[in-house]
Amino acid sequence: MYYLAFFVDYHPLFQEKLKSWFYNHKTYACISIDDKKHHAISINNLLKPCGEYYGEPYYTHHKQNWYIHGRCLNEINIYNFPGLLVTIGGQFSQISIEKIDSIFDWFANNYDWSILPWTNTPRFQSFLFISNNIKLRDSFIECSSNKWIIPLKDSLCDLLINSYNVSDKFSNIVKAILFEENINTVGEIWEVCNCDISPPYFLTNIDSKQDIILNQYLGKHKLIEKLDIHQDCSSWNVYEIQTEAKLFFELISSELISKLGMYSSSDRAFWISQNTDFKKLMNLLIHTENKESSYSDLIYLQNFLDATEWLYTFRRDFYISDEHNLSLFISRNSQIVQEIDIFRQEKIANTDDLYSLGLHSHYDLLGCF
């Protein structure tokens, strides 16, 4: 059994956590991985500014493959090291939730505690703490405040994403995956979520009357809810799929994924389960969909889970080029999250013709929470 805590990697929080933790835990090592070689480095190497990201300093730990660990529990065989490719992403990283299970097992079995970088895409940068001792995990959570006023926000945000007590495998309790999108895999979500029985609603702020593609599809379906967000004067429509539901799901998703660069950066779209609490969801959209004040979806992960049974949405990193279409899938049912990851990898492995579509021929799992 081991214990996890995920945090949004806002640098002042990261810095304060390390400073507070090391005050009472002076036995540790900071390791950098370069070409599979492990080098001991100073912790200060992870804290240096090396550029700027959206008006904020960008730090060296965002660009390195590293980890920090406490006391060794076993004689370490570095050749059995599972790798930390999920922390840096990239083409052909071949990361799966199953492989992430092996990463967590390795650290939990070999060190009394560890701190790892997690997803490294700008809007989802995060880090985690792992230990086989619940008191150490809880102590790290409580060693400094998790609530900060972050850039673009005027109120405190809780940057503790979630904490987990893992009795067997993390994959059995995972609630969210972030991945680079591919149009050949959208149908897997329909199948896994049993949408033939309960088709999802389509939520978007794109005006279908002014968009030929959306008007062509949405004109056949029923508008059931209109959400007006007065804070940013935006309007969101919720559509019910009434005919040819699966075809509609695949067509509209593929169109949004492959042509999303044609839409403005403020255009958004979601698939949501039928039992969604629209009032709760509207309160979330205020925080997550305004590019001028949005910081990270991860801050609101638990709120999304409270508002809807499952959610699937596209282009979640507002600040990178349109060719990298990052999608987010969230579900209260961990088995669904696992199956989507497995099916998508199998689909990509058996697909040889994606380059003819102008798309990547791989499936990148970029993070899970």
At which of 136, 168, 200 does a domain end?
168
Say whether pLDDT at 5 is over 60: yes
Give the C-alpha separation, 24 to 137, whole Å: 14
Residues 286 and 350 placed together within one structural domain of the fold: yes
Three-state DSSP at 31 gives: strand
The domain of 31 spans 2-168
Cα first-last separation, the chain: 18
Do residues 245 and 307 share a domain?
yes
Within this chain, do residues 356 and 226 fall inside the same structural domain, yes or no?
A: yes
Kindly state whether residues 232 and 333 are assigned to the same domain: yes
Which of 103, 133, 168 is where one domain is finished? 168
Give per-residue pLDDT as tens, 129-188.
999 999 999 999 999 999 998 776 667 889 999 999 999 999 999 999 988 776 666 778
Residue 173 lies in a domain: no
**pLDDT (average), residues 81-110:** 73
Give the model confidence (pLDDT) of 285-303 as tens digits: 888 877 666 678 899 999 9
- Closest by CA position to 245, among listed 310, 197, 313: 197
Do 106 and 203 belong together in one domain? Answer: no
DSSP string covering 253-301, please? Answer: HHHHHHSGGGS-TT--EEEE-TT--HHHHHHHHHHHS-TTT---GGGGH
**Surface-to-core class of residue 44, CB atoms within 10 Å of its CB (0-12 exposed, 13-18 middle, 19+ buried):** exposed
280 and 150 fall within a common domain: no
Look at the chain and report how many structural domains it folds into: 2
- How far apart CA 367 and CA 13 sit, in angstroms, is 20
List the structure tokens of 88: 């840096």
**Dihedral sign for Cα atoms in the order 193, 174, 98, 170:** negative
Q: Name the β-bridge partners of 147.
A: 158
Enter the tokens of residue 156. Answer: 């405190």
Same domain membership, residue 196 and residue 310: yes
Report the percentage of the chain scoring pLDDT > 90: 33
pLDDT band at residue 309, thresholds of 50, 70 and 90? very high
